[in-house]
Amino acid sequence: MIKVGIVGGTGYTGVELLRLLAQHPQAEVAVITSRSEAGVAVADMYPNLRGHYDGLAFSVPDSKALAACDVVFFATPHGVAHALAGELLAAGTKVIDLSADFRLQDAVEWGKWYGQPHGAPELLKDAVYGLPEVNREKIRQARLIAVPGCYPTATQLGFLPLLEAGLADPSRLIADCKSGVSGAGRGAAVGSLFCEAGESMKAYAVKGHRHLPEISQGLRLAAGKDIGLTFVPHLTPMIRGIHATLYANVVDTSVDLQALFEKRYANEPFVDVMPAGSHPETRSVRGANVCRIAVHRPQGGDLVVVLSVIDNLVKGASGQAVQNLNILFGLDERMGLSHAGLLP
């Protein structure tokens, strides 16, 4: 049994991690921390977990208790993992970080986008970007895993086949992405209130979103050269879900794109390439660790449209973190994650 610790378990990614691990036959949550909720039983804060974590309560972070775990998940705001990850790694504990702390390999670039100096640049050389569809073999040997963000997951999985095959013009990529309000986190914010977000839709951070350098980093590696990306996120009045509509110009219109995508993801348990002409819906992946993709070439031209949908809290965060856990510990990658999405 894998002994698990969770730092910062009171947010949406934290409770989603608890929900998924409750179904995992090889993982046991031994420690869960929250400074603000220390002493509160997990089941009292999240009644959906009653009967699964009876006796488990939030505690103040203690490095010795966390270091006694086999693996520690960080479900925290950026900057928190910087302070604790090094100590845990030195003790031999694996770290899976759901925050943005180790996603970017350039510490200066990270500081530019997150408004503070990187707190542990010496650990970046050890950090493996946890997108299994790209880095599965590196994840198996990792000490420190940086779980990708939600927008980056949907966007990279949609663009990868085109860029890896050298088909897309890398200088003219467009990602038009929509997210449910849970992507903003559990903290109180006026923009996330139901009366503010309901029956409305808006773009935001058009000048530059924090996920832009992460997406660009991944696409640059896939293309093997510099890329030009326009990324525009939108807030939509739903709780869960990412819908990414991706545009790229292809240099060879004779290639069967449906076959290309099907071949690229044929052995990926959590990427579903839908039949030609499909339009994946976010509700089809709600609660599931699945990315559904459809590829279109409108009017048979050189512009390709890729539709990519995920649940931002599952394949976009906690589910992908558990997928990394399974790979890291040599388990079946689907363990604890094989359930279908929720409908209606």
Q: What is the DSSP letter of 342?
A: P
**Residues 249, 172: contact at Cβ < 8 Å?**
yes
Q: Which of 69, 150, 177, 291 is catalytic?
A: 150
Ramachandran category for residue 117: left, alpha or beta (phi over 0 → left; psi -120 to 50 → alpha): beta
Where do we find the tokens 């040997």? 141
Give me the residue label for tokens 């390439």: 273
Helix axes 257-264, 150-164, angle to 10 degrees: 120
Q: What is the DSSP letter of 250?
A: B
150 is catalytic: yes
Report the side by side order of strands in the sheet with 94-97. 58-59, 27-33, 2-7, 71-74, 94-97, 144-146, 127-129
SS3 label, residue 232: strand
Provide DSSP, 63-125: HHHHHTSSEEEE-S-TTHHHHHHHHHHHTT-EEEE-SSTTT-S-HHHHHHHHTS--S-GGGGG
Task: Return the active site residues.
Answer: 150
